[in-house]
Amino acid sequence: MLTIDLQEGFSSDHVVVEINNQVVFDERNIRSRFEIGFAASRDVPSPQKPYELKVSIPEANLVRKIIVDPAQTTHVGINRVDDGLLVTASSEPFGYL
Amino acid sequence: MTNDFDDTTRGFDETDFYPENMAGPRDLDLRPVPPFPFLLFASGLYSWRSPIIVGPIPPLQPIPFPRPIPVNPEMPIPDPRPGPRPVGIQDQAVDAASLSLFGNSEDLRLDVDGRYPQMTASGTIYRAFSHRTHWIARLTQTAPNSYTGQIWYKDGDTATFPFTNVTITVVKSLFANQRSATLVYTGGGSTYTRTFRFVSSYFHKAEFEYDCETGAPATLQYNTGAHPNKPAGMPAELLTIEKVYQRAGIDATRSPNSTVIPNDGPDPNTTWSDAEMHDTMQVYWSRFANLPQWAMWVLFAKQHDMGSSLGGIMFDSIGPNHRQGTAIFTNSFVANPPAGDANPAAWVNRMFFWTAIHEMGHGFNLAHAWQKHLGTPWIPLVSDPEARSFMNYPFRVSGGQSAFFSDFQFRFLDQELLFMRHAPERFVEMGNADWFDHHGFEAPDTGKETGFALELNVDRSKPLYDFLEPVVVEIKLTNTLAEPKIVPDSVLKDLHNIMLITKKEGRAARTWAPYAQYCQLPSAIVLKPGDSITDSIFVSVGTHGWLIDEPGHYAVQAAMTVQGYDLVSNPLRLRVAPPRSFEEQYVAQDVFTEDAGRVMAFDGSQVLTSGIAAWEEVVARLPQSRAAVHAKVALAMPKAKIYRTLDIDAIKGGKEVKKQFRLAKADAKASRDLLNSALMDAPDAVETLGRVDYAYYTDKFSATLKKQGDDKDARRVSDAAAQAISEAETPKQHRTRERKSAA
C-alpha cells in the first residue's frame, strides 16, 4: 500500500499519478490549503517490488518520475514548485500543522 | 502595562512578575517595582487625537428683509438648478496641514529597544474613519533618544502623504503620562511635526480564549528546560503562550471564559470537520462576532476528520471573517515522540505548546516559513525552509526536529515580528475583511475604550417598508462609560461626519450622501453615563440617487468619528415589500426621480415642479398609503409660511436679466388640511415618519397654528401628538407583547 499526499503548490490542477504506467490517481481541481500545506491524500495498492511512480499535470506539461522501493517507502509527498514537481519519499506518514 | 524593565541582557523579563496561573486581566496595581538600576525603554505605541473645538454660542442676529439683488451683467447668476453635488468625504483631499480639522487621529509604533527590536517605526493616520494612511520607516539611532530614517512602505490614502523621512525624539519617564514622542515628517516638499503621547509598551492587544473538548487537555505552557535537547545557554523558564506573544510585541491576555466542550454524542471519539469547529466556535467563543477584532479562539480537540496526520489547523476560512479560530489535535502525530527520545513526556508537551503557537500564528496571518513567497505577501518575502521559527515545521529542516529544537529560541523571526508589529492593521487583525463587498470601512478603532455606541434603528416592530414608502432611520449615539462625555450638540446633524452605506441584496454597496451639508459653529452638550442623543436620517435617496427603491432586502450601516474614535453601527437590515397595485407601479416612475427625491429630502419645494407633481400623484392615487403621509408633509410645509423663490426673467429683446426674490403667500388652509390628514388622521403616522420626525413635524404644525392665532388647535395638535408617541410601541415593547401573547 502507498499513501500519496498532494501537498503544496496546487491551484485547481489536474493531477495524474501512475504506478508502472497504470493510473492510480486522476483528479481535477486539486487545490492546496496554505494553512496546512496539504491538498489531497489517497491510499493506493502498490507492487511488492520496486516500481516506477510517475506524477503529471497534463495541462501544464509537468511530469516527474521516481523509482520507489516499497521496502523503504510507504508514503510519497508531491509538491508543485516553480520549476516542476517535487516528490518526497518517506517511510512514515507526513504530518501537517 | 509596560515592559520598561525588560532587560534582555540580564535575562530579566517584566512578565516574570506575573504568576503563570493567573487567568484573565492582570492587576497592574500589584506590579512590584524592580530593583535599581533599571532601564527605560522608548518602544511601544504612542497616540495623538485631535481635540473637539467648541466655541461660544454667538448672539442671534436678525435676518434682514430681502432686498433686490443689484444686477451685474458681467457676473450672471446661474440658473437655480441643482448644482454639482456637495463635496463629500470621498472627495475631500485633506492635506497634511489640515490633518487636525476633522476629528483625526494618529498612532505611532516605535520599535527601537526592548525585546527583539526591529529598528522600525510605523504610523497610521486616520481621517474620518474611511481614510487611512499607513507608513513604515527603518530607523537608525542618531542620539540617545533620537532616531531617523527613510519611509520605505506606504499604504492607503498615500496621495495626501508626501513625506519620505521621519525623525523621532523620545521623552522617557518612569511615569507613563509623561512619556512622549515627537515626530517630524520631512520630504516631498513638506515638513510636519506631531507630538504623541505614550499609550503602551506593546504594539497591539489580543485576547485568546482556550476551550477543550472533553478528553483533550489544553497545553498552554511549557518549561523550556524540561527537555535536554535545547540551545546551549537558553535559560529554563515556564513559558506561556501569552508570554511568547507578549515578547512579539502583542499585549496578549487570556480570556477568563474557558469552557470544556462536552462530547456526549453516541461516539465520544468522533472526529471534527472544519465546519463543525466553526459552528462550535460560534457557540462557545464568548467573543464571537462577524467583525474584525483582536481576539482569537483556540480549541484543543481529539482528532480532525483528516486523521492523525493533522496535528493542528487554523480552520477559520469560512464566513466573512477569517482567522479567528484555530485547533490543536491531541490524538495526532504530535503526541508521538521519536523512538528512544530522552524525555518523551517533555517532548510531547513541547510539541503541543509549539503547535498551539504555530496555529495561532496563522491567526495573525503568518504563513509557513517555506511559503513566504506564495500567495500575496504584503512585501516581497524570502522563504526560509531552515528557519527556526514557530512558523516552520520542526521536521522539515535539515536534520529534522532534533536539529530544529537544538537551536530554537521559542521566538518568531524578525520578518514575522515586523509584520505583526508594523504591517497595516487589517493585514494582521483576526477577522479583518472587506466590509460590504468592496466598500471599505477600514477596520475602525471601535474598541470598547471609545466609550460610545452607535446604533441604527427603525421605529417600528418589524423593519418592513411598503413600496414607495420613504425610509427614515433613527441614528443614536450613547455614552457607554460611567463618566460624562462632552460632544458637539450637532454631532448627529453634521452629515459630512457620518458615512452611510446601503446595500441591496444582489447589488454592490452604495454610499449615501446628503443633498446638503450644514456648516455650524458647534456648541457642546454633556452626555451623562448611559444617555443618548438621537436623530433621524432619510436614507432612501441622496446625491447618488435613490438607494432604497425596488422591492427586496437591504442593509444599512453607518460610521462616524467622535473624539477621534471611529464608531461603526450595527448593520440594519430592512425589507421593501413589492407593489400591491398597478397604481403603485405607475407612480413609482415619477417618484424615483431626482426632483422627487429632493422635494422629499428638503420637506417640499415650490420650484421642483416635476417632483411636486410626483408626490401630488401619490396623494391622489394612494391616499391611504404610508408614502402619502410623507407626501402630504412635503406638500404642506412650503404652504405653511411665506415662501421665497428666486426668479430670473430675461427681459424680452434685451440682454438685461431681471433677478428678484418672489414671495408666495402662505396657504394656511391647504397646509393645515394636509398636515391634519398626515399627522393627526393617519393611523400609522408615527411608525412611518419615526418618532423623531413625527415630533418635529407636529411641533412645527402646532407652532404655526399658534402663530396664526389658533391656540386651541395648536394645543389639540400637541396633545394628540404626545399621546400618539406614547402609545406607539417601541420594537422592544412589541417583542415583549408578542412573547406574552405566545405564552
Q: How many CB pairs under 8 A join A and B?
A: 49
The alpha-carbon gap from A54 to the nearest alpha carbon of chain B, in Å, equals 24
CB-nearest to A97 from B308, B355, B371 is B355
**pTM, entire model:** 0.60
Q: Answer yes or no: are the C-beta atoms of B292 and B305 closer than 8 Å.
A: no
Q: Which helix (H) or strand (E) holds B611?
A: helix B609-621
Q: Answer yes or no: are the C-beta atoms of B503 and B511 closer than 8 Å.
A: no
CB-nearest to B313 from A9, A36, A93 is A36
Q: Answer yes or no: are the C-beta atoms of B569 and B456 closer than 8 Å.
A: yes
Instruction: Report the 3 state secondary structure along B299-323.
Output: EEECCECCECCECEECCCCCCCCCC
**B306: nearest CA partner in chain A:** A41
For residues B716, B721, B723, B725, the Cα torsion angle rounded to the nearest 10 degrees is 180
Q: C-alpha distances in angstroms, B309 versus B233, B291, B327, B333?
A: 34, 32, 14, 6
Q: Give the three-class secondary structure for B672.
A: helix
> Given an 8 Å threshold on Cβ–Cβ distance, is A96 in contact with B310?
yes
Rounded CA separation B410/B152 (Å): 29
Nearest to B442 by CA among B137, B108, B157: B157
Q: Is the pLDDT of residue A42 over 50?
A: yes
The alpha-carbon gap from B528 to the nearest alpha carbon of chain A, in Å, equals 48
Rounded CA separation B251/B236 (Å): 23
Flag whether residue A96 sits within 8 Å of chain B, measured between CB atoms: yes
Q: pLDDT tens digits for B500-516?
A: 888 887 676 677 777 77
Q: DSSP string of B213-273?
A: ETT-----EEETTSSS-S-TTPPP-EEEHHHHHHHTTEEEEE-S--EEEP--SS-TT--B-
Q: Which residues of A touch B393 (CB under 8 A)?
A: 95, 97
Flag whether residue A34 sits within 8 Å of chain B, measured between CB atoms: yes
Flag whether residue A90 sits within 8 Å of chain B, measured between CB atoms: no
Q: Which residues of B touch A33 (CB under 8 A)?
A: 317
Q: Give the three-class secondary structure for B394.
A: helix
Instruction: Report the 3 state secondary structure along B714-726.
Output: HHHHHHHHHHHHH
Flag whether residue A9 sits within 8 Å of chain B, measured between CB atoms: yes
Q: Is the dihedral of CA B400, B403, B408, B413 positive or negative?
A: negative
Residue A63: pLDDT band by 50, 70, 90 thresholds? very high
Flag whether residue B152 sits within 8 Å of chain A, measured between CB atoms: no
Rounded CA separation B202/B45 (Å): 6
The alpha-carbon gap from A9 to the nearest alpha carbon of chain B, in Å, equals 8
- Cα–chain-centroid distance for residue B607? 40
**Residues of chain B numbered 391-410 and touching chain A (CB < 8 Å):** 393, 395
> Given an 8 Å threshold on Cβ–Cβ distance, is B374 in contact with A34?
yes
**A8: nearest CA partner in chain B:** B371
**B335: nearest CA partner in chain A:** A95
Q: Answer yes or no: are the C-beta atoms of B325 and B297 closer than 8 Å.
A: yes
> Given an 8 Å threshold on Cβ–Cβ distance, is A95 in contact with B375?
no
Q: Which residues of A touch B377 (CB under 8 A)?
A: none
Residue whose C-alpha cell reads 420637506 in the numeric block = B603
Rounded CA separation B499/B91 (Å): 13
Residue whose C-alpha cell reads 496621495 in the numeric block = B159
Flag whether residue A59 sits within 8 Å of chain B, measured between CB atoms: no
> Given an 8 Å threshold on Cβ–Cβ distance, is A37 in contact with B374?
no
> Given an 8 Å threshold on Cβ–Cβ distance, is A95 in contact with B313?
no
Greatest extent of chain B over all pairs of C-alpha atoms, in Å: 110
Flag whether residue B332 sits within 8 Å of chain A, measured between CB atoms: yes
Sequence-separated (6 or more) residues with CB below 8 Å from residue B70: none
Q: Which residues of A touch B359 (CB under 8 A)?
A: 97
Q: What is the DSSP letter of B681?
A: I
Q: Which residues of A touch B374 (CB under 8 A)?
A: 8-9, 34
Q: Is the pLDDT of residue A5 over 90?
A: yes
> Given an 8 Å threshold on Cβ–Cβ distance, is A36 in contact with B310?
yes
Q: Which residues of B touch A80 (CB under 8 A)?
A: none
Rounded CA separation B325/B310 (Å): 16
Q: Which residue out of B273, B374, B376, B401 would a mutagenesis test of the A interface target, given it has the greatest number of A Cβ atoms within 10 Å?
A: B374
Flag whether residue A1 sits within 8 Å of chain B, measured between CB atoms: no
Q: What is the pLDDT of residue B127?
A: 76
Residue whose C-alpha cell reads 405566545 in the numeric block = B742
Q: Answer yes or no: are the C-beta atoms of B350 and B222 closer than 8 Å.
A: yes
Query: The complex's ipTM?
Result: 0.91
Q: Answer yes or no: are the C-beta atoms of B200 and B44 closer than 8 Å.
A: yes
Q: What is the DSSP letter of B67?
A: -
Q: Which residue out of B308, B322, B353, B368 would a mutagenesis test of the A interface target, given it has the greatest number of A Cβ atoms within 10 Å?
A: B368
Rounded CA separation B432/B455 (Å): 21
Q: Which residues of A touch B368 (CB under 8 A)?
A: 34, 37
Q: Is the dihedral of CA B400, B406, B411, B416 positive or negative?
A: negative
CB-nearest to A95 from B333, B368, B375 is B333
Q: Is the dihedral of CA B29, B41, B134, B487 positive or negative?
A: positive
**A35: nearest CA partner in chain B:** B314
Taking 70 as the pLDDT cut, the residues of chain B under it are 1-39, 51-103, 128-131, 318-320, 369-383, 433-450, 496, 506, 508-509, 517-522, 564-566, 649-657, 729-743
Nearest to B365 by CA among B335, B332, B323, B408: B323
Q: What is the pLDDT of residue B564?
A: 62
